[in-house]
Amino acid sequence: MADEAPQTKFLLEESALPRRWYNIQSDMPSPAQPPLHPGTGEPVGPDALTPLFPMELILQEVSQEAEIPIPDAVLDIYRLWRPTPLYRAHRLEQALSTRSRIFYKYEGVSPAGSHKPNTAVAQAYYNKEEGRTRLATETGAGQWGSALAFACRLLGLECKVYMVRISYDQKPFRRSLMQTWGATVVASPSDETQSGRAILEEHPDSPGSLGIAISEAVEDAAGRDDTAYSLGSVLNHVLLHQTVIGQEALAQMELAGAFPDVVIGCFGGGSNFAGLSFPFLREKIAGREIDVLACEPAACPTLTRGTFTYDFGDTGKLTPLMPMHTLGHDFIPAPIHAGGLRYHGAAPLVSQLVRDGLVRAEAYLQNDVFASAVLFAGNEGIVPAPEAAHAIHGALETAKAADEAGEQRTILFNLSGHGHFDMAAYDNYFAGDLEDVSLEQEEIERTLGALAGLPTPA
Ligand SMILES: Cc1ncc(COP(=O)(O)O)c(C=O)c1O
């Protein structure tokens, strides 16, 4: 009978949209260590950051308040797509013949197709409030750039995007999307900045990397009074803005009458992972048992094979030194198709949580990830972004391990975006052209060598 059919979607009313962001800094057992000025080795004060960021975001970066109110103007824009749905993956469970229950939170319903607008809108809002008229940023796969282009368009700001060369070539329609929202997009490394020109001189065919594109965007913003820099991941305030995801998911799991044993997100810089997991980590820190898993590519295994130390956030060494897991700021990941996961560093907050044993990480090869993505699409319908497919693969591996151990687990993962602009990657996978890149230890040791002489965290 219809009313006995198992429920698939768990939806919240608009009135249930979270009104506050959750700040995990108030609950962390060991506080995150401060960013340092590379010249002096001293903690970076707010004044050093004002050329790049509005004061409100600088204050959020260091805030110890547990909750920070979301401005009404930001909530008004969130309402265009939030609250996002939470699904029970019944068909996938059946296909796997698993005893476990699998849930996913779907962030691909945003206008840009991923979780990234959750922070893009907030950042554009605070910049506008403080008088900036233009934002400069980098983008990997184009998801972040399109999210910021969308947010700037709605709030009336100009937007300049430095897009990693390999994605610029692989994903021309992401570029068109950014242009539709009024942004100016150039391939990075570009000849428009000193950092870009320096790389091009040495490597004219450089595929680019997030580290290089960040240098270009920071240089652009630092050189103009009307422009601020906007980062789509890694920083504390970015992770903070994403916590609407996990807060909604907590309420939706309650609607489903379930609570996750395992919470999973893919990991690039850490924002979608943090967005889902931080509100659950609040419960874990308070004593609940939850396994929290970050899934990264074997071609860029920052959390699983990097070192926790102070490093620059960019290749051109323009940013403060961040305490984080890193493969070294010179590391240029192989051009895998999950462009948004090709970052040498990691969010300092997540790095600290890994260090404290509250979060663990696994790394996967891209052919395995695409196989899981295709299995997921064939059962749940949604074609995932290659980045998000890492979380799917993590969920499938978790369910498999539980079945092998004769256990039943409740698994929740973040489906951070759809893959409608990533079909060339799927074509390559079907053609058998995807390379499985697993890094040599020597290469990691070489790029970590660039960290000699930098301070080490306590
Ligand atoms: C769909 C999607 N998921 C995940 C990521 C990785 O970023 P983060 O680790 O900040 O969530 C990206 C980055 O571009 C993305 O586009």
Could you report the per-residue pLDDT of 120-179, keeping only the tens digit for each?
Answer: 999 999 999 999 999 999 998 899 999 999 999 999 999 999 999 988 998 899 999 999
Q: In the prediction, which pLDDT does 224 show?
A: 95
pLDDT at 350 over 70: yes
> Region 93-108: what's the mean pLDDT?
98
Rounded distance from Cα 286 to ligand 1 centre (Å)? 28
Ligand 1 atom nearest to 273, measured from its CA: 11
pLDDT at 3: 60
Mean pLDDT in residue range 301-310? 97
Ligand 1 atom closest to Cα of 274?
11
Residue 339: pLDDT above 80? no
Distance 51 CA to ligand 1 centre (A): 26
184, pLDDT greater than 60: yes
What residues are in contact with ligand 1 under a 6 Å CB criterion? 114, 140-141, 143-144, 233, 266-273, 340-341, 385, 387-388, 416-417
* Residue nearest to ligand 1 atom 16, measured at CA: 143
| Residue 113 CA, closest ligand 1 atom number | 1
Ligand 1 closest atom vs CA 234: 10
The pLDDT value given to residue 458: 86
Among 350, 351, 315, 329, smallest CA distance to 449 is for 329
- pLDDT given for residue 206 in this prediction: 94
pLDDT in tens, 251-305: 999 999 999 999 999 999 999 999 999 999 999 999 999 999 999 999 999 999 9
Q: Atom 4 in ligand 1: which residue has the minimum CA distance?
A: 387
The pLDDT tens digits of the residues spanning 403-428 come to 999 999 999 999 999 999 999 999 99
pLDDT digits (tens, 9 = 90+) for 384-401: 999 999 999 999 999 999
Ligand 1 atom closest to Cα of residue 141:
14
Local confidence band at 192 (pLDDT 50, 70, 90 cut-offs)? very high
pLDDT at 438: 82
Ligand 1: centre distance to CA 233 (Å)? 8
Across all residues in the chain, what is the average pLDDT? 95
Write down the pLDDT at residue 141: 82
Q: Report which ligand 1 atom has the smallest distance to the Cα of 270.
A: 9
Q: How far is the CA of 270 from the centre of ligand 1 (A)?
A: 8
Q: In this structure, which residue's CA is closest to atom 6 in ligand 1?
A: 268
The predicted model scores a pTM of: 0.96
Q: What is the mean pLDDT of residues 96-116?
A: 98
Probe target for ligand 1 pocket from 341, 350, 382, 422, with the most ligand atoms within 8 Å of CB: 341
Q: What is the mean pLDDT of residues 79-86?
A: 98
pLDDT for 333: 85
Nearest residue by C-alpha to atom 5 in ligand 1: 340
Mutate to test the pocket of ligand 1, among 115, 167, 267, 392 (most ligand atoms within 8 A of CB): 115
What mean pLDDT do residues 327-331 have? 93
